[in-house]
Amino acid sequence: MPAIRRYAVCGLSARGLASFVLPILGLTDRTDRTAEGGFGYGSDEDDLSGYAEVVAIVDTDADRVTEFNRSLEALGRAPIPFFAEYEEMLKTVVPDAVIVTSPDHTHEQYIHGALRHDIDVITEKPMVTTAAAAREVLAAERASGGSVQVTHNLRYAAAHREVKRLIQAGTIGRVARVVMDYHVDLRHGASYFLRWNRRRALSGGLQVHKSSHHFDLLNWWIGETPEELFGYGALNYYGPSSPHRAQRAEDPYFLAQQGSGVFPDEDSAPRADLFGLHYPDQYPADRPLYIYDAEIDIEDTYSAVARYPGGAILSYSIDFSSTWEGFRLSIAGTHGSIDLLHGRTVDGAALPGSDRITVAELFGPTRVVEVTAEAGGHGGADPLMRHDLFAGPSPESVALGLMATSTEAAYAVAMGDALIQSSTTHRPVNLPHLLA
């Protein structure tokens, strides 16, 4: 058996619980979730307790951690030591690594703190919220004995790995043109405007918070990071000027999500995550958030064009109030093309033709590759990524370069930041300069 590594978790978030804390605790039986006071997530194969243990939780919300620890005790488990002070935790617990799953703007402080002590970091995407902060992390990592790994899990989805394999095998020649038309459905999209993500200071804006996922995936497929990016963005659907703004009872977004659990049923209801764990500090019941609030300062619609050193041109576009969720992807190479639709309706039904990769040789045949999603979070991506992080990279992972490096993650952040900057200045942004 490998040695069990000791991890401290910064931010007891929904993502932190689902993706790290519960698998590491071995609480992987979904039926636990319905048991009184119980938590459970994932599948049996996803039990990481043989590789890792959680030795500390750092969070700004002591009550949320107490509620979690009580649930653990109800399951006959020991509570996890809680620290409000990060530095104190690092000095007293001395973990082997920290897992950063707090809101995006806080990643920076946790990454730097760990690197100062030569401690390894696994951080959720986006690595940080600005290109300047990404540059600082890369410099700190160079000076530290610790390393930074970023959880760009989207690479691991079965269809995405297949696209990478096809490009890597030279099936379509050199990539010349990529178009990604991304849609976030009106329930999922609205949910960003009900949470901390809606403030640029906390998330970097959706260009960084959400699209860093897509930019990383696109760069990985293309096999390069871009030189220059130009973009536009706007707030069309949410915020105080929304054309749909209405009282909750008549609000089309509220009506469209009823029964799905995306919006809290009432303004004053205490907010909880998918495990029923509350957020008294982050979302106090007396300060309800709604999708038309004036404090919303991010865009919900944007497009970018980017140029890569090898000659590829990217065209990327997204909105957060669509009638479907997913994307159309078209990759044209010097010797052929790859086309993929990955999409579902708001209610979750797969769109016709979804998850079939069409591979056309320029002067040859066309074939269709059917892709089946695997079990586990994000179409089976999360368990594979966790295996790489905790047990070590699989041969496939090494062959495809599945694990995102900190430099790749920095580019994904910088592209989002460049898109925001370009939308304001109406000028293209040079990405290597932004990170130099």
Ligand X SMILES: NC(=O)c1ccc[n+]([C@@H]2O[C@H](COP(=O)([O-])OP(=O)(O)OC[C@H]3O[C@@H](n4cnc5c(N)ncnc54)[C@H](O)[C@@H]3O)[C@@H](O)[C@H]2O)c1
Residues that bind ligand X (CB under 6 A): 10-15, 58-61, 64, 101-104, 106, 124-125, 151, 153, 196, 209, 273, 281-282, 378
Closer CB to ligand X, 103 or 205, in the complex: 103
Structural tokens at position 119: 């401690």
Q: Minimum Å distance from CB 385 to ligand X?
A: 9
Closer CB to ligand X, 58 or 312, in the complex: 58
Q: Minimum Å distance from CB 354 to ligand X?
A: 20
Closer CB to ligand X, 210 or 244, in the complex: 210
126: preceding bond cis by omega (within 30 degrees): yes
Element of type H or E holding 141: helix 131-142
Residues forming a β-bridge with 278: 272
Q: Minimum Å distance from CB 429 to ligand X?
A: 23
Q: Minimum Å distance from CB 209 to ligand X?
A: 6
Instruction: State how far the Cα of 308 lies from the Cα of 331, in Å rounded to an integer.
Output: 14
Closer CB to ligand X, 124 or 251, in the complex: 124
Instruction: State how far the Cα of 15 lies from the Cα of 197, in Å rounded to an integer.
Output: 14
Q: Classify each residue of 80-110 as buried b or exposed e, where b means 16 or more C-beta atoms within 10 Å of its C-beta.
A: bbbbeebeebbeeeebebbbbbbbbbbbbeb
Q: Minimum Å distance from CB 177 to ligand X?
A: 27
Q: Minimum Å distance from CB 288 to ligand X?
A: 16
Q: Minimum Å distance from CB 32 to ligand X?
A: 19
* Burial status of residue 375 (CB atoms within 10 A of its CB: 0-12, 13-18, 19 or more): exposed
Q: Minimum Å distance from CB 12 to ligand X?
A: 4
Contact status, residue 45 vs residue 387, Cβ threshold 8 Å:
no
Q: Is 49 helix (H, G, I), strand (E, B) or coil?
A: coil
Closer CB to ligand X, 218 or 359, in the complex: 218
Structural tokens at position 215: 């930019």
Q: Minimum Å distance from CB 34 to ligand X?
A: 20
Closer CB to ligand X, 59 or 355, in the complex: 59
Per-position DSSP letters for 1-30, written without gaps between them: -PPPEEEEEE---HHHIIIIIHHHHT---G
Closer CB to ligand X, 64 or 161, in the complex: 64
Closer CB to ligand X, 15 or 335, in the complex: 15
User: What residue is closest to ligand X based on CB?
Assistant: 13
Give which of 323, 317, 318 is closest to 351, Cα–Cα. Answer: 323
Closer CB to ligand X, 212 or 321, in the complex: 212
Instruction: State how far the Cα of 233 lies from the Cα of 204, in Å rounded to an integer.
Output: 14
H helices of 274-405, where?
A: 381-386, 395-400
Q: Classify each residue of 282-317 as buried b or exposed e, where b means 16 or more C-beta atoms within 10 Å of its C-beta.
A: ebeeeeebbbbeeebebbbbbbbbbbbeeebebebb
Chain centroid, CA 151 distance in Å: 7
